[in-house]
Each structure stands twice: as structure tokens, then as C-alpha cells.
Amino acid sequence: MKKIVPALLLVSIAFLGYAQPKLGLIVGPSLSMNQVKYIDDGNFDYSNDGAAFKFRFGLEADFMLSETYAFSTGAIFAPKRAGFSINPTDGSAPSTQDYKVHYLQLPVTLKLFTSEIQPDLKLFFQLGFKGEIKLFDEPFKEDYDLIEKFHLFDCSFTGGVGVEYGAGINTVLFGGIFYDRGLVNIVKSSIADNSLTSKMHTLDLKLGLKF
């Protein structure tokens, strides 16, 4: 994981000198959820505690490689929530523990544009990966102690579809729906030892303006 993020950054820097970027601002709601796996020790069963809405924002840069392909990168502030449901096997009342985990996302993706489906309107498909650096983490309540430490880095696969509309000579409005699937365990240590793993997934609505 420590080698992935520097590699993503090097690829991004290499493209900076290859083509003039189209810069954009992006915002949008995000549905954050985490997949939980646990090797049962006979005392507790841990599972996911649902999903939560968050709000992302950031910068995006498209480097046009041709009329239909673009290398896309950027920097996105992405707050997420990791929720855990704790179910004792002795019949005791279940409980939940939720944690705020905020990331700086560094996407490395490829965009494929279609021809115009209407005047100034194009579809695009986008696939790639996101290196993610943890900026902050905190339990929702001080007495939550299930997770002791989260890993500093995460990495996710991202894919989605959207539309672009040319609103002027140098202005483009765009939006799309994207799914990010976490590839690595975000839990570094917990009171459940190494038996507890969790991966972050999000469903995002992205709205933006390029100029």
C-alpha cells in the first residue's frame, strides 16, 4: 500500500508535462459504507452498521490525450464513516460504534467520451483507482474503543458514468454517478486483534464545473 500512493503521484506528475489540463471544481453527496469481516471467536460477532451520507468537494484536472480520451486526476476531500455493530453471542444487548474517517483522495483515472448525443452534450465513462491519505479519524463518542488505529493509507477502485454540457466557450458543466470499492483493510489495530477487517465503499453523486 505504501508503494501505491507514490506511484500514483508519479504518474500524475508525468502527465502534467504532457498536455494542458482542463481544471474543474467538484462537489456532491456521498453514501459511505464499510464492509466488515470477522473470524468468530465464540464471544462476539461484528458486522456493518449501515451507511451514512457525507459531502465531498475538491479539484479535478483532465488532460486530453485525444478527442475522446482523457487522463483525469485531482485532489478530493472525502469524509467517510466506518460503522460497526457488536453482537455478543451470550445473548447480551447488541451495540454499535461509529467512527469519522476523513481522507484526501488522489485519483488516477481514464475518461472515455462519446460523440455528442445532443448539441454540446456528451456522455463519458470513467475508470481507475484512488490513492487515499487519511487526514483525520475520531470516534463519534469518547467511550468507543473497538478500533484502536486506522491505517494511514487506503486505495480504492473507482468507476462511473456521467454527462458533460458545454455551457460556453470555456465553461463545461458535468455530473455523474460513481462507485468506489475499497481494496485494502482500513483497520490497523482493534480490541478484536487481527480477526477484524473492514473496507470502505462509497456511492457518489459528482457535480462539477470545468473552465
Question: How confident is the model over 149-195, as pLDDT tens digits?
Answer: 999 999 999 999 999 999 888 899 999 999 999 999 999 999 987 78
Instruction: Indicate if the pLDDT at residue 29 is higher than 90.
Output: yes
Structure confidence at residue 104 (pLDDT): 98
Instruction: Indicate if the pLDDT at residue 12 is higher than 70.
Output: no
- Under CATH, which number does the domain 4-210 receive? 2.40.160.20
Question: CA–CA distance from 114 to each of 67, 172, 184 (Å)?
Answer: 9, 15, 33
Q: What is the DSSP string of 101-138?
A: EEEEEEEEEEEEEPPPSBTTEEEEEEEEEEEEEEEEEE
pLDDT 10s digits, 60-77: 999 999 999 999 999 999
Structure confidence at residue 26 (pLDDT): 98
Report the SS3 class of residue 174: strand
Q: Could you give the CA distance from residue 120 to residue 201 in angstroms, rounded to a whole number? A: 33
Q: Could you give the CA distance from residue 94 to residue 51 in angstroms, rounded to a whole number? A: 18
Q: Could you give the CA distance from residue 28 to residue 70 in angstroms, rounded to a whole number? A: 22
Instruction: Indicate if the pLDDT at residue 16 is higher than 60.
Output: no
Instruction: Indicate if the pLDDT at residue 10 is higher than 80.
Output: no
Q: Could you give the CA distance from residue 148 to residue 67 in angstroms, rounded to a whole number? A: 49
φ and ψ of 10, to 5 deg: -65, -40
Structure confidence at residue 41 (pLDDT): 67
pLDDT confidence band for 210 (50 / 70 / 90): very high
pLDDT confidence band for 8 (50 / 70 / 90): low
Structure confidence at residue 71 (pLDDT): 96
Structure confidence at residue 89 (pLDDT): 82
pTM of the model: 0.87
pLDDT confidence band for 11 (50 / 70 / 90): low
- Domain segments of the chain as ranges: 4-210
Task: Check if the beta carbon of residue 160 is closer than 8 Å to that of residue 113.
Answer: no
pLDDT 10s digits, 104-148: 999 999 999 999 999 999 999 999 999 999 999 999 999 999 999
